[in-house]
Amino acid sequence: MARFSFLPTLILASRALAATVTVNWDATWVNAAPDGFARPVIGINGAWPCPTLEANTGDTIVLTLNNLLGNETTGLHFHGIDQVQTTWMDGPSGVTQCPVPPGSSITYTFVANAPGTYWYHSHNMGQYPDGLRGPLIVHDPNDPYAGKYDEEIVLTVSDWYHDQSITLVQNMLESTNTQFLPPFPDGIIVNEGLGANITFANNKTYRFRVISFAAFASVMLHFDSHTMQVIMTDASYVQQSQAYQLRIAPAQRYDVLISGISRDHRNYPFLLSLDINRDFANDPPQAVVWPHNATGYLVMDPNGAFPQDTVNLWQPVNDVSFKPLDGVAAYGPVAQTITLNFDFCTDVNGLPRACFNGQTYIPQKVPTLYSVATTGENNTNPAVYGDVNPFILTTGSVVNVVVNNLDSAIHPFHMHGHQFQVLDRPGSNTGSWSGHNRTFPASPMRRDTISVNPNSYAVLRIQITNPGVFLFHCHIEWHVEMGLTATFIQSPEKLRNVSFPQDHIDNCIKQGIPYQGNAAGNTQNVLDTSDFVTVPPTTYTGALYSAATDAPVARAARLRPRRVRHHL
């Protein structure tokens, strides 16, 4: 495996004291009924929910994933992990690796370089709504909030679907879907259906690590009679700030403190409600409905009453108002601005897609990272990568990423490999960015997933210090399948002739996927674009693996969902 000469001293020092966390996971089909409706889900080692992965800052994680699904390919992305000097471990299929076919394995080795609340999930053909996801917690030996809380609690929340992802996407990518509607969820689940009754005591403080596994809907969160003290957004410490309500977009994480005080004496509900509105703050009143709710409890009296929590008006805190704890100034000066105009579109076959700057993302024959490594001096030319919305970012530069959301709905955008600074994110109907800076904060908040308001924009800023191929995409999973993705190719000159782990390459070979040359696998003339994929497929098979359709374990995927009685 390649190593780079400019590995930061801080990481080298942490490795000297760090441990290695080694896990071996089998991806298998499991039947589950998290909301009382039985369906096949993808579990780990024959069980679901999937396990929590934990490490300390500086630890090396070595995770081997064995694909025992029988009928689908797979892979894992470690959401929020920067993958410093290990871009080939980032996990999106067709980007930094080939998908893992049934009967094969892949080993991910990377450093947990920064503390925080993260999660892992499949980044392979709409697969994570089928259950392949779980918390990833990196504990901080130098936690600045140490001593301010007594216990930690992981709280996951997600929208939930009774149909499997392939069926949902097939129904979405129809020419009759002229409104570009995504699949709407059948319900909400908390802690993957296990619920959340938290033992609660006076004079104790609890750190809630809240993670959204959602594929579409954001979640509103409110604790009855208790104010949240926000200490971290995604995996970035912020100055402790009060919040009475939070809106948690798909893939976002919040670390909040909840304290028991001397007058607390009963069971206190906390409410989680799915926001399926296009723009909850500005939609007509009759449109702002919350059909899916879940209630957890801070339990002081197990034999007492368990009341419901009621919220008459949702007014969540503006997350851009949070201030970074370290006070890092806005990066600068800016050398490059990437403008991404997002809107829905149709492809040449009349199928509904989503586009940046009029172009939908079209997967190519060769994973983009492998093209970066094998196209020599031409790897700085976006023409060799095909229709993956490629942008070349120069080593050491400071880059503004401007997202103009031309749609009438809020969309959450995630950037791999970075905690970006949020310089500006105005309210709805502000229009596109004019190019003239409003008053940017001197020390902007940082996170890796930001909600961009409808008919408005966001200005994000990053530093290019980590060579690699990193995606920027909407984290509504259905919109990823519609093509709402761009590819940031960072410091490509430092990735020429990089070698990759043999097991990664073997997965390409087993499937006949080329792993050298331009987007079409042309190694002789990498500027020859004649065999590039330029039209999205007209049929959607997701992660299905045709060679394995008769495998015994594949039968679980064909089980018909059924109604069962479910107890928490």
pLDDT tens-digit series, residues 66-85: 999 999 999 999 999 999 99
Within a domain: 179 = yes
Query: Do 312 and 433 sit in the same domain of this protein?
Result: no
* Domain hosting residue 48, numbered range: 9-139
Query: Do 39 and 88 sit in the same domain of this protein?
Result: yes
Q: How many Å apart are CA 485 and CA 362, to the nearest integer? A: 9
Tokens of 13: 């020092």
Q: How confident is the model at residue 5 (pLDDT cuts 50, 70, 90)?
A: very low
Within a domain: 564 = no
Asked if the model's pLDDT at residue 9 lies above 50, the reply is no
- What is the layout of strands, in order, in the sheet containing 133-139? 53-56, 133-139, 116-121, 77-79
Q: Which amino acid, residue 143?
A: D
Closest to 375 (Cα-Cα) out of 230, 521, 556: 521
Asked if the model's pLDDT at residue 4 lies above 70, the reply is no
Query: Sign of the CA dihedral 558, 561, 565, 568?
Result: positive
Percent of the chain residues past pLDDT 90, beyond the cut: 90
Asked if the model's pLDDT at residue 133 lies above 80, the reply is yes
Q: How confident is the model at residue 563 (pLDDT cuts 50, 70, 90)?
A: very low
DSSP 333: -
Within a domain: 303 = yes
Tokens of 307: 């009341």
Asked if the model's pLDDT at residue 548 lies above 50, the reply is no
Query: Do 269 and 398 sit in the same domain of this protein?
Result: no
Q: How confident is the model at residue 286 (pLDDT cuts 50, 70, 90)?
A: confident
Asked if the model's pLDDT at residue 8 lies above 70, the reply is no
Query: Do 343 and 475 sit in the same domain of this protein?
Result: yes
Tokens of 119: 């999660």
Torsion angle of alpha carbons 351, 76, 388, 417, nearest 10°? 130
Q: Which of 10-24, 104-118, 300-314, 534-548 has the highest mean pLDDT?
A: 104-118
Asked if the model's pLDDT at residue 89 lies above 60, the reply is yes
Q: How many distinct structural domains can be found in the chain? A: 3
Asked if the model's pLDDT at residue 561 lies above 60, the reply is no
Last residue of a domain, one of 105, 139, 173: 139
Within a domain: 550 = no
Query: Do 497 and 354 sit in the same domain of this protein?
Result: yes
Query: Do 310 and 341 sit in the same domain of this protein?
Result: no
List pLDDT tens digits, range 456-505: 999 999 999 999 999 999 999 999 999 999 999 999 999 999 999 999 99
Q: How many Å apart are CA 405 and CA 455, to the nearest integer? A: 5
**Are the beta carbons of 353 and 508 closer than 8 angstroms?**
no
Percent of the chain residues past pLDDT 70, beyond the cut: 93
Last residue of a domain, one of 492, 511, 530: 511
Q: How many Å apart are CA 468 and CA 86, to the nearest integer? A: 8
Tokens of 342: 């997002």
Q: Which amino acid, residue 279?
A: D
Asked if the model's pLDDT at residue 145 lies above 70, the reply is yes
Last residue of a domain, one of 465, 496, 511: 511
Mean local confidence (pLDDT), 244-266: 97
Within a domain: 532 = no
List pLDDT tens digits, range 184-199: 999 999 999 999 999 9
Query: Do 269 and 247 sit in the same domain of this protein?
Result: yes
163: left (phi over 0), alpha (psi -120 to 50) or beta: beta
Asked if the model's pLDDT at residue 438 lies above 80, the reply is no
Within a domain: 3 = no
Q: How many Å apart are CA 461 and CA 421, to the nearest integer? A: 5
**Are the beta carbons of 158 and 134 closer than 8 angstroms?**
no
In this prediction, residue 284 carries a pLDDT of 85
Angle at the Cα of 290 from the Cα atoms of 341 and 309, rounded to 5 degrees: 130
In this prediction, residue 213 carries a pLDDT of 98
Query: Do 422 and 502 sit in the same domain of this protein?
Result: yes
Tokens of 430: 């502000």
Within a domain: 440 = yes
Give the domain CATH number at 74: 2.60.40.420
Q: How many Å apart are CA 210 and CA 187, to the nearest integer? A: 18
Q: How confident is the model at residue 95 (pLDDT cuts 50, 70, 90)?
A: very high
Query: Do 131 and 35 sit in the same domain of this protein?
Result: yes
Asked if the model's pLDDT at residue 567 lies above 70, the reply is no
378: helix, coil or strand? helix
Asked if the model's pLDDT at residue 38 lies above 60, the reply is yes
Q: Which amino acid, residue 507?
A: N
Closest to 424 (Cα-Cα) out of 316, 314, 315, 337: 337
Lowest mean pLDDT among 329-333, 412-416, 542-546: 542-546
Query: Do 161 and 244 sit in the same domain of this protein?
Result: yes
Q: Which amino acid, residue 353?
A: R
List pLDDT tens digits, range 359-385: 999 999 999 999 999 999 999 999 999
DSSP 86-117: -GGGS--BTTTBPPBPTT-EEEEEEE--S-EE
Mean local confidence (pLDDT), 425-435: 96
Q: How many Å apart are CA 406 and CA 199, to the nearest integer? A: 45
Query: Do 264 and 342 sit in the same domain of this protein?
Result: no
Question: What percentage of the chain's residues is helix, strand, coil (to nearest 5)?
Answer: 15, 35, 50
Within a domain: 246 = yes
Torsion angle of alpha carbons 461, 465, 471, 476, nearest 10°? -50
Residues in the chain: 568
Mean local confidence (pLDDT), 520-524: 98
Mean local confidence (pLDDT), 541-557: 58
Mean local confidence (pLDDT), 323-327: 98
Query: Do 184 and 296 sit in the same domain of this protein?
Result: yes
